[in-house]
Structure 1
Amino acid sequence: MNYHKDGTPYWIDISISPVFEQGEVSKFIAVERDITERKHLELALAQDKAAAISHGQQTENLLYLSNHLIERKCADVLEKNDSDDVNQRVVNGCHLVRAINNHTKQLSKDGISSELPSKRVLDESLRALVQHISWLATNDGFAFDHVNQSDTSELVISSDFDALTCVVFNIVLLATLQNRPEAITLESRCDIGGDELKLAFELVIDDEGHTAQFIQGLQSASNIDQSTLHQSASFAYSRAVHLLRERNGYEVWNISEGKSRFNVSQTVAVIENLRATDDNTFRVLIAEDNKVNTIVLTKLMKSLGYESIDTVINGEEALESAKSGYYDLILMDNHMPKMSGLEATKHLKQEHHIESAIIACTADTTEEATQAFLAYGACEVIYKPIKKEQLSAAIQRSLNKDKTEKAS
């Protein structure tokens, strides 16, 4: 490592090769390369790794405490008891409360916040809900589709919204436990009025109506034979519904065409509308599975003045992120796991008709890939390794093209 005159460090890589003349070394050739940018990337990766390890250790502590201090207490409370054992159930409940309090104190001692934040970015909460249901769909083998009818990006709302997403998720969980559904569709929409927002979900479960019948039995206090897992999910659902109703929300269900249909909605306070307070915010989504490439693209974009940047690591995440939140520009890699950038571009432009400008940033220099990207709706295709000037010019051309198309 060396230092410039102003004190900033820089790194030089020196390679020395011998030159032979008549079988003997006559001289050496030294080549110097500035590897400062690579070193910065390595340091950033090392910091990310250290943070991940630290987070992993904290997570292990959480899991240990949850498993050994709380799980057994929950089992005691949820365990079937005769009516004569009401007092024992109360005692078990007190033990559970004590265990949770001890757990909370330990978290505070370890510097981990156990309090729910007072506000949520709506788009992030929706994305988390969709990801959790997608995980269930993958593991249980049913089809899942999410349709977001509204632009939920840049809205910061009160955390009371958690009760609503909890109800939706537990309905899906009960559906998978009760009878594996063929398919589940989730449609979300929101209406803003002043400083309030009404968020509504319509959940359609292709299960011959079993989930709706089961929940009707729960709410009518029917004596349904349930496993411990059923009991846990039922308890979580009932508690979430109770909280939802306390917070100006409601849920209704019916059975039609052999499907369980749920409508769940809630009115929450809008704490801040970032889009309204900053009309000049330019949002960028980077879809790239290579960590180093993501860092490089992020640094390049920030050097060009773009600060609001989100990143995803595959085409599926790019599709969900772009559907649930507005982006002015998407930088799309091609070869990614789960779904390629080419497929994601096709879905976004030809099926969902998003307005975001898409620039393909790929190492695939084949004419076939280039023409496919352009045919599916990408504005530009640029090739790796990407230079700052190359990226800047592509962005300007894409935005100018996008404005021209909208005007026409």
Structure 2
Amino acid sequence: MLESVDDNFSFLDDHPSGIYLFQEGAFLYINKRLADLFGFSSPQEMAACPFEQLVFEKDWPKVAQTMERRLDGENVPPFRFRGQQCDGSPIWLECEAKKTLWQGRAALVGQVSDCSAKVVLEDEHRELVQAFDQHRYFYQRTMRRGGYFGWELDLTTLRFTYVDPQIGDLLGYTASEWVNMESWVAWLHPDDRQEALDFCMKKTEQCEDHAFEYRALHAEGHVVWIKDVVVVDVERGKPVRLAGFMNDITVRKEMETALLQSMQRNEKVSREKSRFLASMSHEIRTPLNSIISGMTLLKTTELDEEQREYVDIAAEAGHGLLGLIDQILDLSRIEVGRLELSPEMVDLRREIASITQLFKGQAREKGLRYRVNLDANLKGKALVDPLRIRQILVNVIGNAVKYTERGEVQVEARLVGGKRKPQLSVVVSDTGVGIAAERLPEIFAPFNRAQGASAVGSGLGLSIAKELLDLMAGEVSISSDAGKGTRVEVSIPFKSSRKKEAEADSESESEFMAALESSPLRVMVVEDNQVNARVVTLLLEKLGTKICHCSSGEEALHRIAREPLFDCVLMDLHMPGMDGFETTRSIRQADAPYARTPIFALTAHALDGVETEVRAAGMDGFLAKPLDFQQLQDVIKNLPSLSPSRKSLQ
């Protein structure tokens, strides 16, 4: 039958679509394209296969029903089904069928095309749409939960083309009330309206996306802080549309305001605390200066062993109190970032030896072996802050001695890092109580003290040492076993002196003292406190100087103008009437040789910036009370190079 029909349909053999004639359950005609679609080598081979086998099993009922409806004369649009090629591979097909008569009986004629690619694209599109809908729903839910509300504005009409349906939760106005830009402007806070509008318009004209914060008025009258994030849609170089979202940031703004107020209160409290500590330091240092200096002078007299022991106890207690005051002040400065370094050229070996010597007696009293090993390479001068190095090592070594009841404390010091990056390395190890592993991370926290030891302290030492090392770009490492001991290593970078400078040492103390005996230096002490003046006078007399005491700034000006040949002035800063700053400025402004006389501040006040103030007033240096005898001696020793009247004494 297929061959007899082929003659009538031969002109369709090369048609790009599959063509068929179907009657009473069998194909009467199949063109080559249709046979190719199903994977057959010829139309005859396909015609020999029952049609039902060429349709996916689950789709066959639908295909059979559709073809029956078409045969019954019903107008059925093209339909799709899953075909099955001769090798079993699936293929999506789109079929058109029209009712016709062939040899007086009803038949279907139509075409079949491969729509697999179209189905895949449609499936992908459907999946994308579903995913988009899901994401949009999720996005809207998420944004709304976070207080974000989307919007779009047409810049041609200045009307909102989209507003989140739930935007009423933001300002109390429904989406229908967000008509145009004028609506938004009307709801802005009067104090923010012009600035917000100008900013938005400027950025829009520049075609720049932007974000800004402003206050708006809620429908109920209260203020709402809003963050508006805006995207500018640009066409042909011109802005045509704005889109963005608004977020209620009122809570955040309230927190920021509260935080700012809290910070301001804390800063005020911190300033008041610093002033109080500085004031208390001054009040304590003034009598403490007399006590410590008096003990220093007393030790230079003839004392028996018992008396010397009493003096040592009193002096040690005084220095302990002074150290505690300094630590509290330093902690206060560290908290506000005002601690500064004062580097100077120092003989490192001499400095370390002096520091380690401080604990020799304490270790001996506790029955400890106290070993100090200063490496042979520890020599020469270095640019460091000797006060801070002393503070660091006194805290570290002091803790080792304090928390060791038996055994030994060992201190090793050496230079490392070579000439390019020299560092002072000090290792302090002990056989004391040690520190539990879980407490090591917090060992540098303020007020942290070792547990299990009979000794107690302020708990500030290591904390301040760590802060000082950070300030000096140094490092500290600590290892410890509870009950076995602790090892602390401190590394401090420094700048070494030039070779000639290191080798060229100043004259020996004996030569200096001999020179003073032949030509004593004349020092003016300006001090209103008679006890302090007496102590300073006695200390200076021990150094072989001649002293002139003035009780006020006015007296000092009168005296120096009448007797201008002073080698140095030690100037108390805080005196009734003309204080030390004003007195110094008057001396410096005088048109006389004494205007260049070296002047050193002498004060028990510890306010931050005092040293900067004394330099600004024209003073040459700063001596803090209680006076350190060695510091005072160093100042006097360097006077010949400073004093205009003593250039010959060098």
- Report the TM-score when normalising by structure 1: 0.38
- Report the TM-score when normalising by structure 2: 0.25
Higher Rg of the two aligned structures: 2
